Amino acid sequence: MATRILIVDDEPNILATVAPLLRARGYEVYSAMSGRAGLEALERDKPDLIVLDLGLPDIDGVEVCRLVRETSNVPILVLSARGAEGDKVRALDAGADDYVTKPFGAEEILARVRAALRRVESPAPPSEPIVRGGLVIDRARFRVLRDGEEVRLTPKEFELLTFLAQHSGRVLTHRAILKAIWGPHAVDQPEHLRVLVGALRKKIEPNPSSPKYILTEPWVGYRFADVDASD
Protein backbone atom coordinates (compact mmCIF):
# COMPACT_ATOMS: atom_id res chain seq x y z
CA MET A 1 0.00 0.00 0.00
CA ALA A 2 1.41 3.38 -1.02
CA THR A 3 2.37 5.91 1.64
CA ARG A 4 -0.29 8.65 1.83
CA ILE A 5 0.75 12.30 2.00
CA LEU A 6 -1.63 15.21 2.58
CA ILE A 7 -0.53 18.65 1.34
CA VAL A 8 -2.32 21.56 3.03
CA ASP A 9 -1.44 24.71 1.10
CA ASP A 10 -3.48 27.44 -0.60
CA GLU A 11 -0.86 28.25 -3.25
CA PRO A 12 -1.77 26.50 -6.54
CA ASN A 13 1.84 26.66 -7.75
CA ILE A 14 3.05 24.76 -4.66
CA LEU A 15 0.41 22.09 -5.16
CA ALA A 16 1.30 21.91 -8.87
CA THR A 17 4.99 21.49 -7.99
CA VAL A 18 5.05 19.32 -4.88
CA ALA A 19 2.21 16.90 -5.63
CA PRO A 20 3.67 15.62 -8.95
CA LEU A 21 7.12 15.44 -7.37
CA LEU A 22 5.83 13.17 -4.61
CA ARG A 23 3.63 11.09 -6.92
CA ALA A 24 6.66 10.46 -9.14
CA ARG A 25 8.33 8.85 -6.11
CA GLY A 26 5.39 6.51 -5.55
CA TYR A 27 3.53 8.42 -2.84
CA GLU A 28 -0.26 8.71 -2.84
CA VAL A 29 -0.96 12.44 -2.59
CA TYR A 30 -4.03 14.31 -1.33
CA SER A 31 -4.44 18.07 -1.10
CA ALA A 32 -6.43 20.69 0.78
CA MET A 33 -6.37 24.47 0.35
CA SER A 34 -7.47 25.55 3.83
CA GLY A 35 -6.93 24.54 7.42
CA ARG A 36 -10.47 23.25 7.89
CA ALA A 37 -10.28 21.23 4.68
CA GLY A 38 -6.96 19.81 5.87
CA LEU A 39 -8.44 18.71 9.20
CA GLU A 40 -11.34 17.08 7.37
CA ALA A 41 -8.91 15.31 5.04
CA LEU A 42 -6.95 14.06 8.05
CA GLU A 43 -10.04 12.28 9.32
CA ARG A 44 -11.16 11.09 5.90
CA ASP A 45 -7.92 10.06 4.17
CA LYS A 46 -5.77 8.99 7.16
CA PRO A 47 -2.46 10.31 5.74
CA ASP A 48 0.92 9.00 6.88
CA LEU A 49 2.41 12.51 6.63
CA ILE A 50 1.08 16.07 6.44
CA VAL A 51 2.93 18.77 4.48
CA LEU A 52 1.55 21.98 5.96
CA ASP A 53 1.74 25.67 5.01
CA LEU A 54 1.44 28.22 7.83
CA GLY A 55 -0.22 31.03 5.83
CA LEU A 56 -3.62 29.46 5.27
CA PRO A 57 -6.72 31.56 4.48
CA ASP A 58 -8.84 30.45 7.44
CA ILE A 59 -6.79 28.92 10.28
CA ASP A 60 -3.13 29.72 10.93
CA GLY A 61 -0.94 26.71 10.29
CA VAL A 62 0.43 26.74 13.85
CA GLU A 63 -3.12 26.34 15.15
CA VAL A 64 -3.66 23.53 12.65
CA CYS A 65 -0.62 21.78 14.16
CA ARG A 66 -2.12 22.07 17.63
CA LEU A 67 -5.49 20.76 16.47
CA VAL A 68 -3.89 17.82 14.69
CA ARG A 69 -1.87 16.96 17.79
CA GLU A 70 -5.06 16.76 19.88
CA THR A 71 -6.05 13.60 18.04
CA SER A 72 -3.12 12.33 15.94
CA ASN A 73 0.62 11.64 16.02
CA VAL A 74 0.94 11.82 12.22
CA PRO A 75 4.26 13.47 11.24
CA ILE A 76 3.87 17.12 10.20
CA LEU A 77 6.34 18.77 7.81
CA VAL A 78 5.85 22.55 7.70
CA LEU A 79 6.51 24.17 4.32
CA SER A 80 6.35 27.94 4.73
CA ALA A 81 7.60 31.27 3.39
CA ARG A 82 8.03 32.43 7.00
CA GLY A 83 11.73 32.09 7.73
CA ALA A 84 12.08 33.83 11.10
CA GLU A 85 13.31 31.71 14.00
CA GLY A 86 10.25 32.70 16.04
CA ASP A 87 7.93 31.20 13.43
CA LYS A 88 9.95 28.00 13.39
CA VAL A 89 9.92 27.77 17.18
CA ARG A 90 6.12 28.27 17.37
CA ALA A 91 5.48 25.62 14.73
CA LEU A 92 7.81 23.09 16.31
CA ASP A 93 6.43 23.84 19.76
CA ALA A 94 2.90 23.22 18.43
CA GLY A 95 3.92 19.71 17.34
CA ALA A 96 5.48 20.02 13.88
CA ASP A 97 8.25 17.52 13.18
CA ASP A 98 10.25 19.58 10.69
CA TYR A 99 10.27 22.99 8.99
CA VAL A 100 11.27 23.85 5.41
CA THR A 101 11.45 27.45 4.22
CA LYS A 102 10.19 28.40 0.76
CA PRO A 103 11.68 28.46 -1.81
CA PHE A 104 13.10 24.96 -1.60
CA GLY A 105 14.85 22.47 -3.83
CA ALA A 106 13.23 19.25 -5.03
CA GLU A 107 15.88 17.03 -3.46
CA GLU A 108 15.64 18.87 -0.16
CA ILE A 109 11.89 18.42 0.15
CA LEU A 110 12.18 14.74 -0.78
CA ALA A 111 14.89 14.25 1.85
CA ARG A 112 12.75 15.95 4.49
CA VAL A 113 9.77 13.77 3.56
CA ARG A 114 11.87 10.61 3.86
CA ALA A 115 13.20 11.72 7.25
CA ALA A 116 9.71 12.54 8.54
CA LEU A 117 8.43 9.16 7.38
CA ARG A 118 11.19 7.14 9.02
CA ARG A 119 9.03 6.26 12.01
CA VAL A 120 6.20 5.14 9.72
CA GLU A 121 8.40 3.19 7.34
CA SER A 122 10.78 1.65 9.88
CA PRO A 123 10.38 -1.95 11.02
CA ALA A 124 8.45 -2.68 14.19
CA PRO A 125 10.39 -1.45 17.22
CA PRO A 126 11.92 -3.86 19.72
CA SER A 127 9.44 -5.31 22.20
CA GLU A 128 11.64 -4.81 25.27
CA PRO A 129 10.84 -1.51 27.02
CA ILE A 130 13.57 0.88 28.13
CA VAL A 131 13.41 1.55 31.88
CA ARG A 132 15.25 4.60 33.19
CA GLY A 133 14.42 5.62 36.76
CA GLY A 134 10.68 6.30 36.90
CA LEU A 135 10.37 6.30 33.10
CA VAL A 136 9.24 3.33 31.04
CA ILE A 137 9.61 3.74 27.28
CA ASP A 138 7.48 1.09 25.57
CA ARG A 139 8.84 1.08 22.03
CA ALA A 140 6.44 -1.62 20.85
CA ARG A 141 3.38 0.48 21.69
CA PHE A 142 4.90 3.97 21.35
CA ARG A 143 3.93 4.69 24.96
CA VAL A 144 5.78 6.37 27.82
CA LEU A 145 4.97 5.98 31.50
CA ARG A 146 6.26 8.33 34.19
CA ASP A 147 5.86 6.87 37.67
CA GLY A 148 3.10 4.63 36.31
CA GLU A 149 1.17 7.41 34.57
CA GLU A 150 1.04 7.56 30.77
CA VAL A 151 2.62 10.64 29.16
CA ARG A 152 1.40 11.63 25.70
CA LEU A 153 4.31 12.52 23.40
CA THR A 154 4.49 13.66 19.79
CA PRO A 155 6.33 11.33 17.38
CA LYS A 156 9.46 13.48 17.43
CA GLU A 157 9.40 13.77 21.23
CA PHE A 158 9.16 9.98 21.48
CA GLU A 159 11.99 9.54 18.97
CA LEU A 160 14.23 11.98 20.84
CA LEU A 161 13.50 10.44 24.25
CA THR A 162 14.22 6.95 22.94
CA PHE A 163 17.46 8.04 21.29
CA LEU A 164 18.72 9.79 24.42
CA ALA A 165 17.69 6.95 26.74
CA GLN A 166 19.41 4.37 24.55
CA HIS A 167 22.65 6.29 25.11
CA SER A 168 22.15 7.14 28.79
CA GLY A 169 25.27 8.39 30.53
CA ARG A 170 26.86 9.56 27.26
CA VAL A 171 27.21 13.15 26.14
CA LEU A 172 25.61 13.56 22.72
CA THR A 173 26.48 16.63 20.67
CA HIS A 174 23.84 18.90 19.17
CA ARG A 175 24.91 17.85 15.69
CA ALA A 176 24.76 14.14 16.50
CA ILE A 177 21.25 14.44 17.91
CA LEU A 178 20.01 16.63 15.06
CA LYS A 179 21.38 14.19 12.49
CA ALA A 180 19.84 11.18 14.25
CA ILE A 181 16.40 12.74 14.70
CA TRP A 182 15.98 14.97 11.62
CA GLY A 183 18.68 13.82 9.22
CA PRO A 184 21.91 15.37 7.83
CA HIS A 185 20.07 18.40 6.44
CA ALA A 186 19.21 19.60 9.96
CA VAL A 187 22.62 19.71 11.66
CA ASP A 188 22.72 23.52 11.44
CA GLN A 189 19.20 24.06 12.82
CA PRO A 190 19.68 23.98 16.62
CA GLU A 191 16.36 25.69 17.28
CA HIS A 192 14.63 22.41 16.34
CA LEU A 193 16.42 20.61 19.13
CA ARG A 194 16.10 23.37 21.72
CA VAL A 195 12.32 23.52 21.27
CA LEU A 196 11.92 19.74 21.30
CA VAL A 197 14.02 19.29 24.45
CA GLY A 198 12.04 22.02 26.20
CA ALA A 199 8.72 20.42 25.28
CA LEU A 200 9.92 16.96 26.30
CA ARG A 201 11.19 18.17 29.68
CA LYS A 202 7.79 19.70 30.46
CA LYS A 203 6.22 16.29 29.97
CA ILE A 204 8.68 13.88 31.60
CA GLU A 205 10.59 15.87 34.21
CA PRO A 206 9.21 16.21 37.77
CA ASN A 207 10.74 19.71 37.75
CA PRO A 208 11.55 20.92 34.20
CA SER A 209 13.63 23.83 35.51
CA SER A 210 15.90 21.36 37.35
CA PRO A 211 15.97 18.32 35.03
CA LYS A 212 16.47 14.84 36.42
CA TYR A 213 16.66 12.96 33.12
CA ILE A 214 17.71 15.21 30.23
CA LEU A 215 20.78 17.13 31.32
CA THR A 216 22.36 20.02 29.40
CA GLU A 217 26.06 19.91 28.60
CA PRO A 218 26.77 23.63 27.97
CA TRP A 219 27.94 24.45 24.43
CA VAL A 220 28.14 20.72 23.61
CA GLY A 221 24.79 18.96 23.71
CA TYR A 222 22.72 16.82 26.07
CA ARG A 223 23.16 13.77 28.28
CA PHE A 224 20.47 11.44 29.53
CA ALA A 225 21.19 10.80 33.21
CA ASP A 226 22.55 7.34 33.94
CA VAL A 227 19.67 6.23 36.16
CA ASP A 228 18.19 2.78 36.74
CA ALA A 229 14.84 1.49 37.86
CA SER A 230 15.73 1.84 41.55
CA ASP A 231 16.57 5.58 41.36
How large a percentage of the chain has pLDDT more than 70? 94
Least confident of 3-7, 38-42, 78-82: 78-82
Global pTM? Answer: 0.68
> Residue 228: its pLDDT value, please?
59
> Residue 145: its pLDDT value, please?
95
DSSP strand pairing (49-52 vs 76-80) = parallel
Q: Domains in the chain, start-ordered, CATH in brackets? A: 4-121 (3.40.50.2300), 130-224 (1.10.10.10)
Q: Read off the pLDDT of each residue in 135-139 and give the average, rounded to a whole number.
A: 92
> Residue 112: its pLDDT value, please?
86
> Residue 226: its pLDDT value, please?
78
> Residue 121: its pLDDT value, please?
58
pLDDT tens for each residue of 53-64: 999 999 999 999
> Residue 119: its pLDDT value, please?
56
> Residue 10: its pLDDT value, please?
94
> Residue 54: its pLDDT value, please?
94
> Residue 154: its pLDDT value, please?
87
